[in-house]
Structure 1
Amino acid sequence: MADGISSFWGPVTSTKECCERNYVYSSYVAEFYNTISNIPCIILALIGLVNALRQRFEKRFSVLHISNMTLAIGSMLYHSTLQRVQQQGDETPMVWEVLLYLYILYSPDWHYATTMPTFLFLYGGLFAILHSVFHFGLGFKLHYVALCLLCIPRMYKYYIYTDDRAAKRLAKLYLLTLILGSLCGILDRVFCNHVSSWPLNPEGHALWHAFMGFNSYYANTFLMFCRAQQRGWNPKVASMMGILPYVKIEKPKAQ
């Protein structure tokens, strides 16, 4: 805690803290940069949601973008308070979001329509209950990484079966932001003692938030393109103001 600034939220009760100093700028925000760095994720998810609704994509993609926003808001609440309850509100949606990605990735080839969503829903609910009771630490991290690794083979399959160069570029941007974000997160976690002695803290965890906001957007956009191809909607990757890519579709009149 910075000298002369007291905490509005009381003592830290969360089981993990990042390398950023607490309550430097305000008694209401514990980790300032780790809090505001979630804003890009919210904005990008909102842009994706508007595009999904405007072009009438399947509801799964609207839910996915809303999930990204919910996760970012939960992360903001956690990093601004460093309380155990808010930590649960950050970590549990992380697992729920990956379960949603697993559904979107694997459901097109799943022959039993209700089995997968029912199983994933029950799995997510059970995890939330167990995590709130046992407060998994390292177990949570290993579990989350394992779920993320399950997504990668399917993403790679979509990549190799996609001929569109712009869509492949989305997949490459997804991988690039994932690698850069992970490196920033590792820097903040493992080398905190060294980073803290630098004249300027690079705020690796805040950079992780920013990179993962773009990572989620690129992943969502790539999956929307692949799903539109499966549905025969003639998708194309366009750009918003020449910068931000999005998927533009042409549905047959019968649809």
Structure 2
Amino acid sequence: MADGMSSFWGPVTSAEWCEKNYVYSNYIAEFFNTVSNVPGILLALIGLINALRQRFEKRFSVLHLSNMTLAIGSMLYHATLQRVQQQGDETPMVWEMLLYLYILYSPDWHYRSTMPTFLFLYGAAFAITHALFRFGIGFKIHYVILCLLCIPRMYKYYIHTTDVHAKRLAKLYLATIILGSMCWLFDRMLCEKISGWYINPEGHALWHIFMGFNSYFANTFLMFCRAQQRGWNPKVAHLLGCFPYVKIEKPKVQ
């Protein structure tokens, strides 16, 4: 904590990261880890507007809202460093991955009602259990397993996609998750060393930024693949010549 600066939120009750606490404000514990979630919120908002404007299936609107919820939960967690807010960050992480699993695997699932029912009950059970027992390393292992379950299906979508721009989205998704993970590990494992540097590279804040873009690229790629499945003639366009999004042409008669 900075000299002479008190904490508005009280003693820290959650896991801490390498950023020094309350350096810029007594209302924000980890300033960079908090504000670095803003790009993720804005990107999710862009995706949500596109999904609603072009009338994609509701699952994608929920997915973008899930990204926004996760980023807001992360902001509250890093701003306060309280246990309850940490739960509000970690639980949506699992819910989001369950939603990705549904979007990835549901097109080939023969019993349509069983998958969403199971995933909903699983998510509810996890939320209650995690709140009661506060998993540590178990939460991280569980989250990584959920991420790994998505990879085979993402790879299948990638190899069955011929559009060059869509493939680029998948490559950007892979690049951002690798870079983000390296920043996360760097911040977590080398904190004692980098704390002595004149400038802290804020690896966890970079993780937030990379993962905000990672979610956006993943969502856009999945929207393209789903539009192909539905025969909507998808194309990857660019907002302001920069941000990719999916543009579709639905048949007049469904």
TM-score interval w.r.t. the shorter chain? Answer: over 0.9
Structure 2 gaps of 5+ residues are none
Cα shift at 1:212: 0.1
The answer to whether residue 27 in structure 2 is matched with residue 28 in structure 1 is: yes
Cα shift at 1:104: 0.1
Distance 1:248 1:83 in 2: 42
Q: Paired residues, what number?
A: 254
- Counterpart for residue 50 of structure 2: 51
One-letter amino acid of the structure 2 residue matched with residue 184 of structure 1: C
- Counterpart for residue 13 of structure 1: 13
3-state DSSP of counterpart to 2:110:
coil
The answer to whether residue 77 in structure 2 is matched with residue 78 in structure 1 is: yes
Distance 2:73 2:46 in 1: 19
Distance 1:187 1:35 in 2: 18
Cα shift at 1:4: 1.1
3-state DSSP of counterpart to 1:245:
strand
Distance 1:24 1:51 in 2: 38
Distance 2:9 2:31 in 1: 14
State, as a whole percentage, how many aligned pairs show the same letter: 80
Distance 2:189 2:229 in 1: 43
Distance 1:210 1:247 in 2: 22
3-state DSSP of counterpart to 2:93:
helix
Distance 1:143 1:70 in 2: 20
- Counterpart for residue 65 of structure 2: 66
1:214-225 pair list within 5 angstroms: 214-225=213-224
Measured against aligned partners, the alpha-carbon deviations of 1:40-72 in whole angstroms (never above 9, x if no partner) come to: 000000000000000000000000000000000
The answer to whether residue 158 in structure 2 is matched with residue 148 in structure 1 is: no
One-letter amino acid of the structure 1 residue matched with residue 12 of structure 2: V
Cα shift at 1:245: 0.3
1:123-162 pair list within 5 angstroms: 123-162=122-161
Distance 1:200 1:28 in 2: 22
The answer to whether residue 166 in structure 2 is matched with residue 167 in structure 1 is: yes
Distance 1:187 1:6 in 2: 29
- Counterpart for residue 107 of structure 2: 108
1:174-213 pair list within 5 angstroms: 174-213=173-212
Distance 2:241 2:45 in 1: 18
Measured against aligned partners, the alpha-carbon deviations of 1:133-192 in whole angstroms (never above 9, x if no partner) come to: 100000000000000000011000000000000000000000000000000000000000
Cα shift at 1:98: 0.1
Measured against aligned partners, the alpha-carbon deviations of 1:105-151 in whole angstroms (never above 9, x if no partner) come to: 00000000100000000000000000001000000000000000000
One-letter amino acid of the structure 2 residue matched with residue 147 of structure 1: L
3-state DSSP of counterpart to 1:112:
coil
Structure 1 gaps of 5+ residues are none
TM-score, length of structure 1 as denominator length: 0.99
